[in-house]
Each structure stands twice: as C-alpha cells, then as structure tokens.
Amino acid sequence: MTIVNLILGIIIGALIYGLVIWIVGRLGLGLEVSGFGAAFIAALVIAAVTWVIFWLLGLLGITLGGGFLGAILGLIVAAVILMISDRFVKGMVVKGFTGALVAAIAIAIVTWLINWFIGLFV
C-alpha cells in the first residue's frame, strides 16, 4: 500500500464517519453538530481520541474482549470518547453520559447501515 492510498483511505473514512456523525446529530439523539464541517472535524478528533484511549488501555493490558460483555464495554468506551471529543470540537455538543451512550448506539447503527448499503454495490 502506498502512502497516497493510505492518505486517501483516511480522508474517505473521515468523510464517511463525518457523514454518520452529521446524520446522528440531525436525529437529536444526544449529540448535536452545527454542520458537516463540525461533524468532519469531530470524526478526526474522535479517531485521535479513540487511538489514544485504546493505546493507553493496551499499555495497561486491558482488552474489551468479544461477545455481549465486549459489546457493552465497547459502547461505554465509545460514549466516553464522545464526551472527551466534545471538549475539543467547536460546534459539537454531547448531552451528558446518557446522551453520549444513545449517540454511540445510533452511530453504530448508522455506520452498520451505510456499510451494508455500500456492500450492495461493491
């Protein structure tokens, strides 16, 4: 994989996740974004915060595991990541932990739907 392909993949991924965050923000499910620009920046910040948190958890030897318990822990970590990212993104507001948890579930569902839809054509 060349560096150009890597950069292009990151940009396309950030655009897709920006779209997901923008859609969830429009649904009013615990997350608000002022527009697509803020959603795109939020996608980049969330990716960076996620990387740092999972890096720190890895240093501590903590993994989320699989199955139902892993899914629940994954949603809790995603909600915390949304709450942390809220501090860094102007134009994004997370409405407490419950709002972050609902938004994390909505983001997971919308992401799954978009990936399913794209899979129909690839």
Domain boundaries, the chain: 3-121
The model carries a pTM of 0.81
Q: Which amino acid is at 84?
A: I
- Alpha-carbon torsion angle 105, 109, 110, 116, nearest 10: 160
Model pLDDT, residue 13: 85
Per-residue pLDDT of the chain (122 residues; tens, 9 = 90+): 688 988 888 888 889 889 999 999 999 888 999 999 999 999 988 888 888 888 888 898 887 777 788 788 888 888 998 998 899 899 999 999 999 999 999 988 888 888 888 888 87
Question: Phi/psi class of residue 67: alpha, beta or left (left: φ > 0; alpha: ψ in -120 to 50)?
Answer: left
